[in-house]
Structure 1
C-alpha cells in the first residue's frame, strides 16, 4: 500500500500545477459477469480530468493479517503498468473514456475494480465495477459420500457445491427409481430419509447445475443393515434316481450373510453327493445353490437353507421327492428328437458299471 501511495503522490503532484474544475466520474461500467476463458471490458469516463491522473486499480481483499490481498495498480492514464499479457488498455480522448480489457478470464480475475482520478493526496473521485466470473459447479468435500444405517433410522444425505451462479442441487436414484420422498427428483442440499427401509438402499445421485457447464455429479451409496430375508424360487422339486438336481435359495441381507445347507438338521459339506455354489447378484442379494449329485433314495427329503448375520437368522425349506422321469434342467440336455434326454455323466458311469457286471 505504501508503494501505491508513493506513486499516487507523484502523479497528483504533477497535476497540481494549475487550478482547474474538479473532475468527476461521468460513467463506469455496471457489474460485469464473464465466463472462464472469455473477455471482459470495464469502461470509465472522467469529465474535466485535465492533467490529473486516471487510474485503474484492482482492489484487494482482507482475509486477515496474513492472507490480506493488496491493491494492484493496473494503469495510469493511457499507460498500462500491469505486466500481464491478458490485460489491455484503450483511451478515447474525445469521450475521455478509459477501457480496461481482460482476455482469457481466470477465476483470479474476479474482484472489484476501481477507476480513480487522483486530485491530490487527500482528494480523489472514483467509481467501482465488480467483475464476477461464472464458475462451473464443484461439489464440496464435506458432502456425503456413503452412509450405512440400520432399519428405521433417520438418515441425512448432504450435498454442497461452489460455483457462480450458485448451483442448484437435485437428488435422484439409480435407474430413476422413486426417492423415499415419493418423487423421482428432490431439490435441496439435504435429502432426509425418515425411518429408512431396506428398500431404500442403493445408489443416490447428487447433481449440481448452474448453467455454466454440464454440471457436477456425486454418487452416494446408501447401505441399510437388516437381518436375512430368504426366498425360494422352487420350494418343491422332483427328480429321478441317478440324476442331478439343483436346490436354490435367494438371500437378502446386510452385512453379508453366512449361508449353510442342512438335511434333517445335519450340515451339508461339499463331497461326492453334494456341491454348493454361492454368488452375489447385488451388494445385498446372494444366490446360493445346492446341487444334489446323482440322486439316491437317501437324498430325498427336506432340505433347509439357513442364512445368518449379526442381526438375525432366517431359514427356508425345500422338499426333494422322487420322479419316474428325469427333470431337465439340470439333470440332462436335450438331444435328438423331442423328448429325448441325455443322462448326467454320473448316471452314464453307473449304467456302464452295471452292464460290465452283467457280462461278467
Structure 2
C-alpha cells in the first residue's frame, strides 16, 4: 500500500511549480481539487485524509467523487472535468514513483471526461459596456482606480488574474502606450492601449501614490488588489449601470464577460480570428473559434456569398381522404356544421 500524503506534497510543491512551472492559479486550483477529493474519500472510507492510500482511490471512488461534485456541489461538466484533469495529472506523476501500482493508475486514467454543451459565449452590447465603464465616479481615489481597471480589463481582454497581477513596470505610457501581459502557460503578450484607456491609467497613477508593492492596482488598504476584490467592484458598478441600462438587471456581469465582449468587438472590427487569438493570448486557435459561433456577422457574410436554390412554386394537394379531412378549411367547415 502506498501512503498518498508524501506524494501529493511532492506533486504540489515540486512537480507543479518547479518542474512544470505551473502558475500560482494552477497550483491553487489543483490543491483545491485534492482538498475536495480527500475530504470526500475520508468521509466515504472512514479514514483520516493523512492516512489515505493510493490504492484506495480506485475508479469507483473517483467516479463517485465526480458525481458528488455535480449532484451535491452543483458543479457543471467543465468544473467536473477540471477536477478530473488534476487527478489524472497526479496519477501520471505517480507512474514512475509507484511502479507497483501501474495497473491501478491506468484504470484511474481510463475514467472518461464528461462532454459539455457547446453554448454560445455571452457578451455585452456596446451600450451595456459603455454604461458600466461610465459607472465609476472619478472625483474620488477609488473611482479613478475603478475606472482605470474597468477600461483596461475590457480594452485588453484580460483575465482577472492577468489584471490583478499587472505591475507598474508592465505599463508603458510613453509615445506608444502599451501593456505587457503575463498570461496563462507563462505566455507574454504586448498590447497597445486606446487613448481613453491611457488617460484612465494616467489619472490612476497620478493618485496611486507610493506603496511597498509593485502591483499596479491597490485596494483600500493599500495592498495588491485580489480577484475577489475586483469581482466585487465590477458587480457594484454593474448594479449602478443597471439604473441607466435596464437590460443589465438580468445579467450576471463577470470579468470574463468583459473579456468575451472585447473579443467579439475585435472580431467584428477585423474579421480576422487570428488577431483575436493573439489579442486574447490563446494557445490554440480552436479556443478562439467559439467567437465565430456568437458573431452573426460571420454567418451573414456566408449567407450573402451563397446563391440559394430556387423554390418551385405550387400548392399541396391531398390525395387521400384522411389527409384531405385534416386541411384547415375542411376542419373549420366541419365545426360550423356542428354548431
TM-score normalised by length of structure 1: 0.19
Greater Rg by CA:
1
Per residue, is there more helix in 1 or in 2? 2
